[in-house]
Structure 1
């Protein structure tokens, strides 16, 4: 693949769903469908919103290892990113990705204590397209 960041970045921007993987207390992988990332910096850093009280947040606070998967079913291709997740609850991070309509999920608005930001930082990945897979390092 010539330009990993551009190819995968464009795919991420077009998809409405992202899959986020965490590790539970018994060491098993857990995967959850999430709404489209709110912000990204290349494919290195991806921001998502979620509930502070969620099982996923508890898992990331215990073990920050994570993966994200993006699936483009139209062209039968996918990208998996491996890395870590930080749970951010500071005002600046919450305001950075807040969108109109979020009060549907977080009744108290941007200051809702049950609203937080997941900051995923990728270190490596794997891309599948045209019947072949390719690993890469995220810089």
Structure 2
């Protein structure tokens, strides 16, 4: 009998790892790690799937007796994955639409301020809201060093990434302090950082708007003005 392979991750299809269709029947094409109840378990593109699978290289080596390095495994997947059913269909979205989706996948961004001496200060922060591929909101304290930097110089950089795909932006920030917006954007877990709640004077929002983007998504690269 001909060996079948998952048309998403390339794994051999054997008893015990077969995916399921929406009606509960066995999938002819996908493993259960990639496909359950008629839906893919990971909302990723081909490049992201390769990066995701790389973390299991040691496990694959153990099960197969291979001795592949991560780079060798990646090279193999880059050759095989374009031939798989899931990745043969061309993604017709524009690059900015892909970047918007990438941002929606990210819970954290890195925001860089510039201090009075001209040195950048990148800080990882939780993303609390985003719009498009270039507008990001974060929460912080009015007494922080980055807010002091932004009051002196509103120019900023912001980047986000997910399983090997990334977007780096240059733009400006706005410090939001009005009560209506602060209450509207308040989330319960903020209390861990802002003990005074939504009316705490130390609670501020930072709204970043990017005007230039460097994008690397699914092996597609571009520098664009937004």
Superposed, which structure 2 residues align to 1:65-84 within 5 Å? 65-72=155-162, 74=163, 76-84=164-172
Q: Tell me, yes or no, if structure 1 residue 38 matches structure 2 residue 128.
A: yes
Identify, as 1 or 2, the structure richer in helix.
2
Q: Tell me, yes or no, if structure 1 residue 88 matches structure 2 residue 88.
A: no
The runs of 5 or more residues in structure 2 that have no matched partner are: 1-91
Q: Tell me, yes or no, if structure 1 residue 54 matches structure 2 residue 181.
A: no
SS in 2 for 1:101: helix
Task: After TM superposition, give the deviation of residue 131 of structure 1 in Å.
Answer: 4.9
Mark the structure with the bigger radius of gyration.
2
- Report the RMSD for the aligned CA atoms in angstroms: 1.7
1:25-72 Cα deviation digits (max 9, x unpaired): 11011100111x212221242211111111000000000000110021
What is the number of equivalent residue pairs in this alignment?
135
Q: State the distance in 2 between where 1:34 and 1:63 align.
A: 19
Q: Name the counterpart of 1:134.
A: 222
Q: Name the counterpart of 1:108.
A: 196
Q: State the distance in 1 between where 2:219 and 2:98 align.
A: 16
The runs of 5 or more residues in structure 1 that have no matched partner are: none
- Greater RCO between the two (CA within 8 Å, min separation 6)? 1
With normalisation by structure 2, the TM-score equals 0.56
Q: State the distance in 1 between where 2:218 and 2:105 align.
A: 19
Q: Name the counterpart of 1:119.
A: 207
Q: Name the counterpart of 1:17.
A: 108
Q: Name the counterpart of 2:68.
A: none
Task: After TM superposition, give the deviation of residue 121 of structure 1 in Å.
Answer: 1.1
Identify, as 1 or 2, the structure richer in strand.
1
Most deviating of 55-64 and 37-46: 37-46
